[in-house]
Amino acid sequence: MNFGRATLRFGPLRLAVVLLGDRLSGAAIQQTRVDTFVIEAENPGEALRAELDARGLAPRSVALGLARTAVAVKPIDLPPVVGEMREMVRFELDRHLPFPADDAPFDFLTLPPDGEPGEPASETKRVLIAAADRRVVETAIRLAEEAKLRPVSITVAAHDLLALVKTVRRERVAWIHRCGDTADLLLLNGDTLVLSRNVPATDEAELATEARRSLAVARWRACDAVWVSGDHAETVANALAPLGAPVTRPPYTPRAERRLAAITEEPRGARELAVAVASGRGVRPLDLIPSALRPRRLTRPQWITVGTLAATVVLAIAALLVPGYREHRVLNALNRDVARIDPEVRVVERTLGELERKRALLTAVQTIEASAIRPLPVLRELTEILPGDAWLTMLSFDTKGVELTGQAAQASALIPVLENSPLLERVEFASPVTRGRDREQFRIRAAWEVGRPEAAAVGAPPSPSPTAARPKRDEEPPALGGAATPTRPTPGTPPRVGPGGRRP
């Protein structure tokens, strides 16, 4: 059957070829597409390549299946000694093979304990070996190379029938698959192959006899079920009733049912073998492919190790990422809270900024006030101590002292008066005194009193003057410069001078 070339673009293509003497049985599976064919030609390799091209199939690899008659399959007992199992089997091959064991491809699998349930198991190790003549395997490999295919496995085709069914643990089953004039007999213990034989199928009674003999070889008294498949399965089923077990069709999986339903041509038995070989996956039991060509596949213990390692790596990565993920979530929550209160924070920051600026301005003002000279206390003191006949035309002062410019009847009398002031010291003329018509022009400089910085720099009011009360004086208009307000006595009243030249 040909479903067209377009379907090749989807899914992997799996090809199997079974070597059945002078003919080949092939099966190609790609998703729901199943192609089966039988080839009889003098040059099977070229014929296989031509058949694949004609069907639009372009596989790169092939699983090869051998006829049961081309392979020696036999259960053997190994002594209970400790050693490498494969080397022990290799050492025993010479006694069990009908052809030279040197360089013979072989494989084996460990069998479950023999005997009936409840009986003590034997101390010997029982294995099932499969070995073929080196020339048989080389012929199969050469066939694949001529068809430009890469072999991935070389097994007994009947052994791959296990890939089509779902077995029950510890159920003992006799499976008879008829292909032409012969039948392949498989004994299964659950999903483990215990024995396989190729027996004639032309006589149904003889087939039942060979089945009973096979039970004895496997050390079984009886079996739990008998499965029949292949060519003319109904006829074979009627002959196997004396085995004392129900004879049924194999319990194929749903996928196997769909694939086998696609077989509509005869001979059916050979095509079913090809479908079984194509359905096999992973490590196949009793694989005879040479080590150089064997694909690298992990065994069950290796898969367990890899799984444990992968789980450890995942847990380690999770241990590293989970705290970071939690911190990321917490950080996102904090960022949301910060974004929510950010406007309020900005308002508070602006308020604090304004407050800091006002505080700095207040500090500057206080500093200026503390370092500035306050003129009012100085003017008040000069007004009180200067005599009435003295006039000031200019008054200037700084942090060092004060300078007075004006007129007086007697300028020299002003020196002791100013010296007695608690604000001033080191009073002296800054320039020579000049005489006018009736007054003397003077320029007097004085320094601030040491120890009384509050009166000058800070501007604190000076201590109360010890002078007595003086009579009320007439106020004069301000002198030139507006620096001070000179006073004069009432006409007819001479000024009074107290101790030290100060007016009482």
Query: How confident is the model at residue 487, as a pLDDT?
Result: 40
Q: Over pLDDT 90: what percentage of the chain? A: 38
Q: Does the pLDDT at position 320 exceed 70?
A: yes
Please, are residues 116 and 28 in contact by the beta-carbon 8 Å criterion?
Answer: no
What are the Cα distances from residue 412, in Å, to 56, 425, 444? 139, 16, 10
Polymer length in residues for the chain: 504
**Tokens 């004994």, located at residue:** 187
**Tokens 């009074």, located at residue:** 496
Q: Does the pLDDT at position 256 exceed 90?
A: yes
Please, are residues 491 and 388 in contact by the beta-carbon 8 Å criterion?
Answer: no
Q: Does the pLDDT at position 169 exceed 70?
A: yes
Query: How confident is the model at residue 297, as a pLDDT?
Result: 66
Q: Does the pLDDT at position 366 exceed 70?
A: yes
Say how far apart CA 121 and CA 21 lie, in whole Å.
40
425 bridge partner residues: 447
- Please tell me whether residue 14 adopts helix, strand or coil conformation: strand
Least confident of 74-88, 208-222, 326-340, 377-391: 74-88
Nearest to 127 by CA among 104, 105, 101, 96: 96
Please, are residues 194 and 218 in contact by the beta-carbon 8 Å criterion?
Answer: yes
Helix ranges (H only) for 98-168 are 134-146
Query: How confident is the model at residue 50, as a pLDDT?
Result: 93
* Number of alpha carbons in the 13 Å side-chain half-sphere of residue 465: 23
More confident site: 337 or 6: 337
Confidence of residue 298 (pLDDT cuts 50, 70, 90): low
Query: How confident is the model at residue 428, as a pLDDT?
Result: 92
Query: How confident is the model at residue 239, as a pLDDT?
Result: 74
More confident site: 278 or 485: 278
Confidence of residue 1 (pLDDT cuts 50, 70, 90): very low
Say how far apart CA 257 and CA 260 lie, in whole Å.
5
Query: How confident is the model at residue 476, as a pLDDT?
Result: 42
Query: How confident is the model at residue 235, as a pLDDT?
Result: 77
Query: How confident is the model at residue 121, as a pLDDT?
Result: 56
Say how far apart CA 92 and CA 124 lie, in whole Å.
14
* Number of alpha carbons in the 13 Å side-chain half-sphere of residue 108: 23
User: How far apart, in Å, do the first and last CA atoms of the chain sit?
Assistant: 145
Confidence of residue 277 (pLDDT cuts 50, 70, 90): very high
Tell me which DSSP letter residue 173 carries.
Answer: E
Domains of the chain as residue ranges with CATH: 1-71+132-164+254-297 (3.30.420.40), 166-251 (3.30.420.260), 375-501 (no CATH)
Q: Does the pLDDT at position 171 exceed 80?
A: yes
Query: How confident is the model at residue 456, as a pLDDT?
Result: 43
Nearest to 63 by CA among 138, 151, 131: 151
Confidence of residue 48 (pLDDT cuts 50, 70, 90): very high
pTM attached to this predicted model: 0.60
Nearest to 44 by CA among 119, 133, 149, 118: 149
Ranges assigned E (strand) in 321-423: 391-397, 401-408
Q: Does the pLDDT at position 24 exceed 90?
A: yes
Dihedral over alpha carbons 454, 458, 464, 465 (to 10 degrees) = 80
Q: Does the pLDDT at position 466 exceed 90?
A: no
Over 237-300, what HEC string results?
HHHCHHHCCCEECCCECHHHHHHHHCCCCCCHHHHHHHHHHHHCCCCCCCCCCCCCCCCCCCCH
Q: Does the pLDDT at position 374 exceed 80?
A: no
Q: How far is CA 230 from the centre of its chain?
A: 53
Ranges assigned E (strand) in 292-439: 391-397, 401-408, 424-429, 434-435
Please, are residues 406 and 390 in contact by the beta-carbon 8 Å criterion?
Answer: yes
Confidence of residue 155 (pLDDT cuts 50, 70, 90): very high
